[in-house]
Amino acid sequence: MAKKRKHSEADAASQKKEEVAPERPKRTLLGWKGKKDDQVKESDSTTVFRNKEKVLVTCSRRINYRYRHLMLNVVDLLPHCKKDNKVESKSSKGATLNELVELKSCSSCLFFECRKGKDLYMWMAKSPNGPSVKFLVNAVHTMEELKLTGNHLKGSRPLLTFSSNFDKDPHWKLLKEMITQIFGTPKEHRKSKPYHDHVFVFSIVDDHIWFRNYQISVPHNESDKIARGGLDKMTLIEVGPRFCLNPIKIFAGSFGGPTLYENPFYISPNQIRSMQKKKKAGTFVKKVKAKTRRKIHELENPLEQDEFAEMWKE
Protein backbone atom coordinates (compact mmCIF):
# COMPACT_ATOMS: atom_id res chain seq x y z
CA MET A 1 0.00 0.00 0.00
CA ALA A 2 2.86 2.40 0.84
CA LYS A 3 4.50 1.78 -2.55
CA LYS A 4 1.25 2.51 -4.39
CA ARG A 5 0.83 5.80 -2.47
CA LYS A 6 4.37 6.91 -3.37
CA HIS A 7 3.76 6.19 -7.06
CA SER A 8 0.46 8.08 -7.05
CA GLU A 9 2.04 11.13 -5.32
CA ALA A 10 4.92 11.14 -7.83
CA ASP A 11 2.49 10.99 -10.78
CA ALA A 12 0.45 13.88 -9.39
CA ALA A 13 3.58 15.99 -8.83
CA SER A 14 4.81 15.35 -12.39
CA GLN A 15 1.39 16.31 -13.81
CA LYS A 16 1.49 19.60 -11.86
CA LYS A 17 4.97 20.39 -13.19
CA GLU A 18 3.84 19.75 -16.74
CA GLU A 19 0.85 22.06 -16.26
CA VAL A 20 2.92 24.85 -14.71
CA ALA A 21 6.11 24.67 -16.82
CA PRO A 22 5.77 26.42 -20.23
CA GLU A 23 6.89 24.78 -23.40
CA ARG A 24 10.52 25.49 -24.20
CA PRO A 25 11.20 26.86 -27.68
CA LYS A 26 12.91 24.44 -30.02
CA ARG A 27 15.97 25.50 -31.97
CA THR A 28 15.95 24.85 -35.72
CA LEU A 29 18.15 25.82 -38.67
CA LEU A 30 16.03 28.93 -39.26
CA GLY A 31 16.13 30.01 -35.60
CA TRP A 32 14.12 29.42 -32.44
CA LYS A 33 10.73 27.91 -33.07
CA GLY A 34 7.88 29.36 -31.09
CA LYS A 35 9.78 32.47 -29.95
CA LYS A 36 8.36 34.83 -32.58
CA ASP A 37 4.81 33.78 -31.80
CA ASP A 38 5.24 34.83 -28.18
CA GLN A 39 6.68 38.19 -29.28
CA VAL A 40 3.75 38.80 -31.64
CA LYS A 41 1.27 38.05 -28.85
CA GLU A 42 3.05 40.43 -26.48
CA SER A 43 3.16 43.18 -29.13
CA ASP A 44 -0.54 42.76 -29.86
CA SER A 45 -1.41 43.04 -26.19
CA THR A 46 0.79 46.13 -25.55
CA THR A 47 1.23 48.26 -28.70
CA VAL A 48 4.07 50.73 -28.01
CA PHE A 49 4.80 53.62 -30.40
CA ARG A 50 8.41 53.75 -31.54
CA ASN A 51 9.79 56.82 -33.24
CA LYS A 52 11.66 55.73 -36.39
CA GLU A 53 12.45 59.22 -37.66
CA LYS A 54 15.50 59.43 -39.97
CA VAL A 55 16.76 62.62 -41.60
CA LEU A 56 18.70 62.88 -44.85
CA VAL A 57 21.22 65.76 -44.86
CA THR A 58 22.73 66.82 -48.18
CA CYS A 59 23.81 69.95 -50.05
CA SER A 60 24.08 71.37 -53.55
CA ARG A 61 27.18 71.53 -55.72
CA ARG A 62 29.51 74.57 -55.63
CA ILE A 63 28.75 75.17 -51.95
CA ASN A 64 30.94 77.54 -49.96
CA TYR A 65 33.39 76.07 -47.42
CA ARG A 66 31.75 77.91 -44.48
CA TYR A 67 28.33 76.57 -45.37
CA ARG A 68 29.76 73.07 -45.83
CA HIS A 69 31.25 73.25 -42.33
CA LEU A 70 27.85 74.37 -41.01
CA MET A 71 26.23 71.32 -42.62
CA LEU A 72 28.82 69.03 -41.02
CA ASN A 73 28.16 70.64 -37.62
CA VAL A 74 24.45 69.90 -38.03
CA VAL A 75 25.30 66.29 -38.97
CA ASP A 76 27.31 65.93 -35.75
CA LEU A 77 24.37 67.23 -33.71
CA LEU A 78 21.86 64.77 -35.23
CA PRO A 79 22.84 61.12 -34.58
CA HIS A 80 19.70 59.90 -36.41
CA CYS A 81 20.65 61.57 -39.73
CA LYS A 82 22.20 60.14 -42.88
CA LYS A 83 24.62 62.09 -45.06
CA ASP A 84 24.61 61.80 -48.85
CA ASN A 85 26.51 63.12 -51.88
CA LYS A 86 25.97 66.56 -53.41
CA VAL A 87 22.92 67.16 -55.59
CA GLU A 88 22.69 69.38 -58.67
CA SER A 89 20.29 72.17 -57.69
CA LYS A 90 19.68 73.51 -61.22
CA SER A 91 17.90 70.35 -62.38
CA SER A 92 14.63 69.01 -60.98
CA LYS A 93 15.95 68.76 -57.44
CA GLY A 94 12.56 67.90 -55.91
CA ALA A 95 12.21 64.58 -57.72
CA THR A 96 15.84 63.58 -57.16
CA LEU A 97 15.75 64.43 -53.47
CA ASN A 98 12.53 62.51 -52.93
CA GLU A 99 14.12 59.48 -54.60
CA LEU A 100 17.20 59.79 -52.39
CA VAL A 101 15.05 60.03 -49.26
CA GLU A 102 13.18 56.90 -50.29
CA LEU A 103 16.38 54.99 -51.12
CA LYS A 104 17.93 55.91 -47.76
CA SER A 105 14.67 54.87 -45.98
CA CYS A 106 14.33 58.33 -44.40
CA SER A 107 11.23 60.35 -43.63
CA SER A 108 12.66 63.90 -43.58
CA CYS A 109 15.27 65.92 -45.44
CA LEU A 110 17.54 68.91 -44.79
CA PHE A 111 18.89 70.31 -48.05
CA PHE A 112 21.47 73.12 -48.03
CA GLU A 113 21.38 75.03 -51.33
CA CYS A 114 24.08 77.60 -52.12
CA ARG A 115 23.63 80.21 -54.89
CA LYS A 116 26.27 82.53 -56.35
CA GLY A 117 28.69 81.29 -53.69
CA LYS A 118 27.15 83.82 -51.24
CA ASP A 119 23.54 83.01 -50.40
CA LEU A 120 22.57 79.89 -48.44
CA TYR A 121 19.04 78.47 -48.56
CA MET A 122 17.88 75.57 -46.43
CA TRP A 123 15.00 73.27 -47.35
CA MET A 124 13.26 71.43 -44.51
CA ALA A 125 10.89 68.83 -45.95
CA LYS A 126 8.83 65.83 -44.92
CA SER A 127 8.91 63.21 -47.64
CA PRO A 128 7.05 62.13 -49.70
CA ASN A 129 3.80 63.99 -48.93
CA GLY A 130 5.11 67.20 -47.38
CA PRO A 131 4.93 69.85 -46.06
CA SER A 132 8.20 71.63 -46.84
CA VAL A 133 9.72 74.99 -45.89
CA LYS A 134 12.33 77.14 -47.63
CA PHE A 135 14.57 79.29 -45.41
CA LEU A 136 17.23 81.90 -46.07
CA VAL A 137 20.13 81.25 -43.68
CA ASN A 138 21.83 84.33 -42.22
CA ALA A 139 24.38 85.07 -39.46
CA VAL A 140 26.23 81.77 -39.91
CA HIS A 141 28.94 80.97 -37.34
CA THR A 142 30.42 77.47 -37.29
CA MET A 143 32.02 75.67 -34.34
CA GLU A 144 35.48 76.13 -35.85
CA GLU A 145 35.02 79.93 -35.98
CA LEU A 146 33.52 80.44 -32.54
CA LYS A 147 35.89 78.26 -30.45
CA LEU A 148 33.55 78.33 -27.46
CA THR A 149 34.30 76.60 -24.16
CA GLY A 150 31.16 74.46 -24.15
CA ASN A 151 31.40 70.74 -24.94
CA HIS A 152 28.85 67.94 -24.78
CA LEU A 153 28.79 64.23 -25.52
CA LYS A 154 28.51 63.37 -29.19
CA GLY A 155 25.28 61.50 -29.96
CA SER A 156 23.46 62.49 -26.77
CA ARG A 157 19.79 63.42 -26.96
CA PRO A 158 19.02 67.18 -26.86
CA LEU A 159 16.28 69.06 -25.04
CA LEU A 160 14.29 71.28 -27.42
CA THR A 161 13.11 74.64 -26.12
CA PHE A 162 10.95 77.14 -28.02
CA SER A 163 9.97 80.71 -27.29
CA SER A 164 6.34 81.57 -26.57
CA ASN A 165 6.00 83.24 -30.02
CA PHE A 166 5.67 79.84 -31.69
CA ASP A 167 2.14 79.41 -30.28
CA LYS A 168 0.71 82.64 -31.72
CA ASP A 169 0.27 82.09 -35.47
CA PRO A 170 -0.56 78.85 -37.33
CA HIS A 171 2.54 78.97 -39.56
CA TRP A 172 4.80 79.19 -36.50
CA LYS A 173 2.98 76.20 -34.98
CA LEU A 174 3.62 74.20 -38.15
CA LEU A 175 7.31 75.14 -38.11
CA LYS A 176 7.56 74.16 -34.45
CA GLU A 177 6.14 70.71 -35.17
CA MET A 178 8.51 70.18 -38.10
CA ILE A 179 11.52 71.27 -36.05
CA THR A 180 10.62 68.94 -33.17
CA GLN A 181 10.30 65.98 -35.54
CA ILE A 182 13.56 66.66 -37.41
CA PHE A 183 15.88 67.93 -34.64
CA GLY A 184 14.54 65.71 -31.87
CA THR A 185 16.57 62.49 -31.54
CA PRO A 186 14.32 59.38 -31.24
CA LYS A 187 14.38 57.51 -27.96
CA GLU A 188 16.54 54.35 -27.85
CA HIS A 189 18.10 55.09 -31.24
CA ARG A 190 21.07 52.81 -31.89
CA LYS A 191 23.49 55.71 -32.50
CA SER A 192 22.28 57.91 -29.64
CA LYS A 193 23.31 57.96 -25.97
CA PRO A 194 20.67 57.89 -23.22
CA TYR A 195 21.75 61.27 -21.82
CA HIS A 196 20.42 64.84 -21.92
CA ASP A 197 23.45 67.09 -21.59
CA HIS A 198 22.68 69.87 -24.10
CA VAL A 199 19.80 72.12 -25.19
CA PHE A 200 18.65 73.33 -28.61
CA VAL A 201 17.12 76.80 -28.29
CA PHE A 202 14.79 78.12 -31.03
CA SER A 203 13.60 81.69 -30.52
CA ILE A 204 11.72 84.12 -32.79
CA VAL A 205 13.10 87.67 -33.01
CA ASP A 206 12.06 90.05 -35.83
CA ASP A 207 10.24 87.20 -37.66
CA HIS A 208 13.47 85.17 -37.80
CA ILE A 209 14.22 81.86 -36.07
CA TRP A 210 17.51 82.02 -34.13
CA PHE A 211 19.27 78.76 -33.26
CA ARG A 212 21.61 78.25 -30.29
CA ASN A 213 23.15 75.12 -28.77
CA TYR A 214 24.06 75.07 -25.04
CA GLN A 215 25.75 72.53 -22.82
CA ILE A 216 24.11 71.77 -19.44
CA SER A 217 26.82 72.00 -16.79
CA VAL A 218 26.08 70.76 -13.27
CA PRO A 219 28.40 71.41 -10.27
CA HIS A 220 30.15 68.27 -8.99
CA ASN A 221 31.86 67.30 -5.76
CA GLU A 222 35.33 65.83 -5.44
CA SER A 223 33.78 62.35 -5.62
CA ASP A 224 32.29 63.18 -9.08
CA LYS A 225 28.74 63.12 -7.76
CA ILE A 226 26.09 65.78 -8.22
CA ALA A 227 26.09 68.06 -5.20
CA ARG A 228 22.98 68.78 -3.19
CA GLY A 229 21.06 71.58 -4.80
CA GLY A 230 23.20 71.22 -7.91
CA LEU A 231 20.23 71.31 -10.26
CA ASP A 232 19.33 74.78 -9.00
CA LYS A 233 22.87 75.97 -9.67
CA MET A 234 22.87 74.47 -13.17
CA THR A 235 24.39 76.71 -15.85
CA LEU A 236 24.38 76.78 -19.65
CA ILE A 237 27.56 77.08 -21.72
CA GLU A 238 27.24 77.75 -25.45
CA VAL A 239 28.70 75.15 -27.80
CA GLY A 240 27.67 76.28 -31.28
CA PRO A 241 26.99 76.53 -34.15
CA ARG A 242 24.91 79.68 -34.61
CA PHE A 243 22.60 80.51 -37.48
CA CYS A 244 19.42 82.41 -38.24
CA LEU A 245 16.54 81.11 -40.38
CA ASN A 246 14.36 83.53 -42.35
CA PRO A 247 11.24 81.65 -43.61
CA ILE A 248 10.40 82.43 -47.25
CA LYS A 249 7.58 80.03 -48.19
CA ILE A 250 5.78 77.00 -46.80
CA PHE A 251 4.62 74.46 -49.40
CA ALA A 252 2.00 71.75 -49.02
CA GLY A 253 4.07 69.14 -50.87
CA SER A 254 7.64 67.93 -50.61
CA PHE A 255 9.98 70.51 -52.27
CA GLY A 256 7.05 72.20 -53.98
CA GLY A 257 3.30 72.24 -54.39
CA PRO A 258 0.64 74.80 -53.44
CA THR A 259 1.86 77.64 -51.22
CA LEU A 260 0.47 77.57 -47.67
CA TYR A 261 2.31 80.66 -46.41
CA GLU A 262 4.48 83.37 -47.93
CA ASN A 263 6.53 85.80 -45.86
CA PRO A 264 5.46 89.38 -46.74
CA PHE A 265 8.60 90.89 -45.12
CA TYR A 266 11.09 88.82 -47.11
CA ILE A 267 13.54 90.70 -49.36
CA SER A 268 15.84 88.66 -51.60
CA PRO A 269 19.63 89.13 -51.23
CA ASN A 270 19.85 90.29 -54.87
CA GLN A 271 17.55 93.23 -54.15
CA ILE A 272 19.56 94.12 -51.04
CA ARG A 273 22.82 94.10 -53.00
CA SER A 274 21.37 96.28 -55.77
CA MET A 275 20.11 98.81 -53.19
CA GLN A 276 23.53 98.91 -51.54
CA LYS A 277 25.22 99.54 -54.90
CA LYS A 278 22.90 102.46 -55.56
CA LYS A 279 23.68 103.94 -52.17
CA LYS A 280 27.44 103.56 -52.70
CA ALA A 281 27.24 105.23 -56.13
CA GLY A 282 25.79 108.40 -54.58
CA THR A 283 26.93 111.62 -56.29
CA PHE A 284 28.43 109.81 -59.29
CA VAL A 285 24.98 108.58 -60.35
CA LYS A 286 23.63 112.12 -60.01
CA LYS A 287 26.40 113.48 -62.26
CA VAL A 288 25.70 110.87 -64.94
CA LYS A 289 21.99 111.62 -64.85
CA ALA A 290 22.68 115.37 -65.11
CA LYS A 291 24.90 114.83 -68.19
CA THR A 292 22.24 112.74 -69.93
CA ARG A 293 19.60 115.36 -69.14
CA ARG A 294 21.86 118.09 -70.58
CA LYS A 295 22.42 116.15 -73.82
CA ILE A 296 18.70 115.53 -74.25
CA HIS A 297 18.01 119.24 -73.64
CA GLU A 298 20.60 120.27 -76.27
CA LEU A 299 19.12 117.91 -78.85
CA GLU A 300 15.59 119.13 -78.20
CA ASN A 301 16.57 122.85 -78.22
CA PRO A 302 19.28 123.39 -80.89
CA LEU A 303 21.00 126.81 -81.14
CA GLU A 304 20.22 129.19 -84.04
CA GLN A 305 22.98 129.65 -86.66
CA ASP A 306 24.95 132.87 -86.38
CA GLU A 307 24.90 135.00 -89.60
CA PHE A 308 28.30 136.66 -88.96
CA ALA A 309 30.17 133.47 -87.92
CA GLU A 310 31.83 132.96 -91.35
CA MET A 311 32.79 136.63 -91.68
CA TRP A 312 35.20 136.59 -88.78
CA LYS A 313 36.95 133.44 -90.07
CA GLU A 314 38.55 135.40 -92.96
Residue 296's identity, in one-letter code, is I
pLDDT tens readout for residues 220-241: 654 455 555 556 778 899 998 9
What is the CATH superfamily name and number for domain 55-271? Brix domain (3.40.50.10480)
Instruction: Say if residue 91's pLDDT is above 50.
Output: yes
Residues 6+ apart with CB under 8 A from 158: 77, 183, 184, 185, 196, 198, 199, 200, 213
pLDDT tens readout for residues 12-36: 655 555 555 566 666 554 455 555 4
Query: What are the extents of the domains in the chain?
Result: 55-271
The CA-atom distances, in angstroms, between 134 and each of 84, 109, 266, 307 are 20, 12, 12, 73
pLDDT tens readout for residues 132-189: 999 999 999 999 998 898 899 999 999 999 999 999 999 999 999 999 999 999 988 8
CA 45 – CA 236 distance, rounded (Å): 43
Residues 6+ apart with CB under 8 A from 55: 78, 80, 81, 82, 106, 107, 108, 109, 110, 182
